[in-house]
Structure 1
Amino acid sequence: MRTRLRLLAPLMLSTACASVSSQSPDATAIAAVTAKASVPERPFGTLREQADRQQAWLRERMDTALPQLMRKYGIEMWVVPMREYNEDPVFKALVSPTTFAARRRTIYVFHDLGPEKGVERLALGGGPQGGVYVPRRAQQQVSHGGEGLRQAELWGPDQWLVLKQVLEERQPKSIALDISRTFAFADGLSHGEYEGMAQVLGPDWVKRFKPAEGLPVDLIAWRIPDEVRFYEDETKLAWNIIETAFSNQVVTPGVTRISDVEWWMRQRLADLGLDTWFQPSVDVQRQGVTEEQLGEDPVIQRGDVLHCDYGVTALRLNTDTQHMGYVLREGETDVPAGLKAALKTSNRLQDIVFEELRPGRTGNEVLKSSRQRMTSEGIDGTIYSHPIGLHGHGAGAMVGLWDRQEGVPGNGDHKVMANMWYSIELQATSPVPEWNNQRVRSAQEEDITIDAEGRVHWAWKRQTDFHLVR
């Protein structure tokens, strides 16, 4: 009965619309709106279309980025073992969009056979990931209900035996593993997996273990041209949602709380079938009022300066955007000049970091040179920019932390590379004459892409004017 009703539903709607249409023009318009509202919004296509695009990205990353990076770091063989729900951070860079977790135990083996033959890719457990890997199984003969013998997949210690067989066949001089005390993205090998592997392989192979160093970091960070094209659209969507959130469509001065705006922004993504990687945040600065006096969830008032931090997650890629807004006072038609100047100052700091962010330089070098220029221009600011991509706070060189303006040991010593993305995140604090020289913090964050030639581009554009609530 339910199936029959589902099949009849489109016909019933069509008949109802035809009936309403015969009654009045207004009713026809209402029916059209109703029909349109029943069609889901899919800004990036169906899930199947998204997956097809992501699969092409995976194939290009494995064919292009992986060989270059293995040779960059002098790695002959890279072994990446993991267990279901305890995946290595590099997992999302290695698997198809239809794979959500490792299967039981999965061991990926990458063996560089040289520029002519390329990198051999084996999956010990798990599937071929759309033809990206050659599966290798641990099997034994088992009896099955009188139907003779069949091959049954095993796991546990048997997976390590298959790995040992692979090593004995290929005889690599060294085996790179994801072990690092500096980078979380290069430290995916759990202690239990290490113990199990070492026990089965034996001391002769263990002697050949070495850290994979920057390989997993850079592979996660590496982006391809079609991802850049998609990222522009994803960034536009983030902007569109922020523009609506900081408008009268969402904010009613004197009524709306900042938590109302935060939850609207998150719900909007859910309604689009998308997600975020952190809870959206909105905060307020008000003339003559301290942050403590405002409280945790103030009602937005006229004359308030608004700020948001917002991220969109789509096709496993993440955005990170911070924008400024202003609620016009009664009689105002524009933002006060002092606030405009504050935004312009943070724009100038963006320019500086944008210009200093170049491949081959470490994050700490970018930070130091940016801060020197910032100080020489009299800007009171803080720089805390970070890579972005498959993770919000992504793999790669950190360019400062809000509380580490002298540099970030280890993470900041890694080098910026071509084909990666950053969030230029910073703030500049300026006195505002119209607010009796009260200091206002203009915090901005915009995503950028670095192309294969090392040129830096805004993912879409950057904010130069306040969003307005009228």
Structure 2
Amino acid sequence: MRGVIGGFALCAVSLLTLAPQVAAQQRPFGTLREKAVLQQAWLESRLKTVLPAVMRRHGVDAWVIPMREYNHDPMFSSLVAPETFAARRRTIYVFFDKCAAGGRVDPGDGSCVERIALGGTSQGGLYDARRAMAAVDAGAEARQAELVGAEQWNALKSVLEERNPRKVAINVSRNFAFSDGLTAGERDGMSEALGPTWTSRFTSNDALALDFIATRLPEEAEFYAKLQELVWTLTQRMFSNEAITPGVTKTGDLVWWWRQQVNDLGLGTWFQPSISVQRRGVSAAQLGADPVIQRGDVLHCDVGITALGLNTDTQHNAYVLLEGETAPPAGLQRALRNANRLQDITMEELRPGRSGNAILAASLSRMRAEGLNGTLYSHPIGMHGHGAGALIGRWDAQEGTGPQGEPLVIPNMWYSIELQVTTPVPEWGNQPVRMAQEEDAIIGPDGRTRWALRRQSNLFLVR
């Protein structure tokens, strides 16, 4: 028994010795603390540059965003530091453009817009946190009682009276969840407390919240390329003999392989991944819900990763080689090229100043003129997987998406170019094969669109 215990002790010491090395390998973007420092820098930059520009663009003097603990405005994650997990009882964020109110030009350094938090904290010194009690020691900011009930609304009224804004933006929308964060209860309480003088100045604008949430920084785009590289590494590993043994591995095994890999890296995902199979001479119904992967199958994945508050959305395709094969059938390669062509068309049509519905119509018109049979259902991405901004179709709405497709694309926003093209494959007896692809793209400050990393132009091969 002593020998066994000694062996366990030695093993434990070895594991402790190895732990830092193993942990370092499993943290592709650093420790939690290191990632938080980067996120805080992004938040500061966005509040100083993006926020003033969005308010100026939409002619808003003041923007009031109240919310309660666990009932957050969708803008919450775009407004707070990485150490803040929830609003503090009630928190009211107030933004006031003092330069616009005075008819002055914004110098672009963030000094024009006052950032006030009624309740909650200063988010690392980025807000003027106002409370009912004075701080009594260095740690009081995080512990002292928040303003509650009528006190908070009265504090808001005082802030507005001091500044006398002409327009007070509130987040109310019938078309976009991202722009509809003001709950009925908060609106009623605020309106009652402020009275008709201020409620008459309330204004809502769908694009205000959409544009702020959607706009990304060049620094974020630089990180996003690294995140995309990780996605590609994982999809290629998943669609290889590392994860797949033909005739044994099921699609459900790959779903949980992905989840486990992402979890082990200290990252997350915003949706359950999916793996699907297309097989010569076999329908989807015949394959069933969790088929065993066989040689000759076409594989498809839809996967995502969440890291540092940003999300990816990717669809890649693979082919399981038959015995003796060294490459996929030419018909399958052509099917992928056809999907690539619709990607090219969409990227050419995606540019600032155009609505999602206009981009959809133009892209599909060109697609049909080239004899392709596909559908387009792309969406913004960033702080949210299905992000703020105009939809470019849905799989079941190829004629347009109504109001949800009407916002205009803006510079510095990201899109998931999601689509599919179906092509008859001669080697499969002209059986239609659906090549669904999804890659994330970046619209730069110059309005030009590029892939965040690259797009798939060759099927991954499982040997």
Q: What TM-score results when the alignment is normalised by the length of structure 2?
A: 0.91
For 1:9 and 1:51, the matched residues in 2 are separated by 35
Alignment of 1:218-233 (within 5 A): 218-233=211-226
- Is the alpha carbon distance of 1:342 and 1:129 closer, same or farther for their aligned partners in structure 2, counting shifts above 3 Å? same
- The offset of 1:103, in angstroms, is 0.9
CA distance in 2: counterparts of 1:264 and 1:208, whole angstroms:
54
| Alpha-carbon shift at residue 13 of structure 1 (Å) | 2.9
Q: Which residue is 1:184 aligned to?
A: 177
Say if 2:50 is the partner of 1:68: no
Mean Cα displacement is larger for which, 209-218 or 251-260?
A: 209-218
Q: How do 1:295-374 and structure 2 match up within 5 A?
A: 295-374=288-367
Write out per-residue CA displacement over residues 175-214 of structure 1, whole angstroms, 9 at most, x where no aligned residue: 1100000111000111111111111112221111111431
Secondary structure of 1:214's aligned partner: helix
CA distance in 2, matches of 1:203, 1:9: 74
| Consecutive unaligned residues in structure 1, runs of 5 or more | 18-31, 142-150
Deviation at 1:140, TM superposition (A): 9.5
- Candidates 29, 37, 48, aligned match of 2:33: 48
What amino acid does structure 2 have at the position aligned with 1:106? T
What SS class does the counterpart of residue 410 from structure 1 fall into? Answer: helix
Residue 457 of structure 1 is matched in structure 2 by 450
Letter in 1 for 2:92: I
Match of 1:107 in 2: 92
| Counterpart amino acid of residue 468 in structure 1 | L
Is 1:90 aligned with 2:63? no
Runs of 4+ aligned structure 1 residues displaced above 6 Å come to: 8-11
Structure of larger gyration radius: 1
Please give the per-residue CA displacement for 1:393-435, whole angstroms capped at 9, x wherever unaligned. 0001111111111111111110001001000000000000000
Counterpart in 2 of 1:259? 252
The structural deviation recorded for 1:11 is: 9.8
1:140–1:152 Cα contact (<8 Å) kept: no
Question: Match of 2:138?
Answer: none
- Alignment match, 1:409: 402
Given the alignment of the two structures, is residue 58 of structure 1 paired with residue 51 of structure 2, yes or no? no
SS in 1 for 2:252: helix
CA distance, structure 2, for counterparts of residue 152 and residue 312 of structure 1? 37
Q: Partners in 2 of 1:429 and 1:38 — Cα distance?
A: 44
Deviation of 1:322 after TM superposition, in Å, equals 0.2
1:234 equivalenced with 2:254 (yes/no): no
Unaligned runs of 5+ in 2: 1-5, 100-105, 136-143
CA deviation vs aligned residue, 1:326-382 (integer Å, no higher than 9, x gap): 111111111010000000000010000011101111111111110111010000000
Aligned to 2:200: 207
User: Secondary structure at 2:243's aligned position in 1?
Assistant: coil
Q: Judge conservation of contact 1:140–1:154 (CA < 8 Å) in 2.
A: no
Please give the alpha-carbon distance, in whole angstroms, between the structure 1 residues aligned to 2:64 and 2:335: 51
Superposition deviation, residue 35 in structure 1: 8.6
SS at match of 1:92: helix
Cα offset, 1:457, TM superposition? 1.2
Change in CA separation of 1:152 and 1:327 when aligned onto 2, cut-off 3 Å: closer
Q: Tell me the residue number matched to 1:138.
A: 132
Output one character per residue of 1:236-295: Cα deviation in whole Å (capped at 9) or x when no partner. Answer: 111111111111110111111100000100110000000000001000001001111111
Relative to structure 1, is the Cα distance of residues 36 and 107 closer, same or farther in structure 2, using a 3 angstrom cutoff? Answer: closer
Equivalence map 1:285-300=2 (5 Å):
285-300=278-293
SS in 1 for 2:388: coil
Whole-angstrom CA distance in 2 between matches of 1:200 and 1:79: 14
* Equivalent residues of 2:91, 2:118 under 8 A apart: yes
Q: Aligned residues: percent identity?
A: 58
Residue 121 of structure 1 corresponds to 115
Q: Cα 1:299–1:64, aligned 2, differ >3 Å: closer, same or farther?
A: same
Looking at structure 2, the residues matched to 226 and 69 of structure 1 have their Cα atoms a distance apart, in angstroms, of: 19
Distance 1:329 1:247 in 2: 14
Contact 1:138 1:162 in 2 (8 A): no
Question: Deviations 1:138-162 (Å, cap 9, x if unpaired)?
Answer: 3499xxxxxxxxx854312211111
Structure 2 residue identity aligned to 1:161: N
11 and 283 in structure 1: CA distance in 2 versus 1, 3 angstrom threshold: closer
Q: 1:156 to 1:249 in 2, by over 3 A?
A: same
Whether the aligned pair in 2 keeps the contact of 1:383 and 1:427 (CA below 8 Å) is yes
Q: TM-score, normalised by structure 1?
A: 0.90
The 3 A distance-change label for structure 1 pair 211 and 39 is: closer
Structure 1 residues 156-175: aligned runs within 5 Å: 156-175=149-168
Question: Are 2:89 and 2:146, in contact at CA under 8 Å, matched by a contact in 1?
Answer: no
Query: Is this contact kept in 2: 1:109–1:121, CA < 8 A?
Result: yes
RMSD: 2.1
Structure 1, residues 292-346: CA drift from partner, whole Å, max 9, x if none?
1111111111111000000000000000000001111111111010000000000
Distance 1:109 1:133 in 2: 9
Counterparts of 1:11-50 in structure 2 under 5 Å?
12-13=13-14, 36-37=21-22, 41-50=26-35
For 1:55, the aligned partner's letter is Q
What is the aligned length?
439
**In 2, Cα distance between equivalents of 1:35 and 1:225:** 32
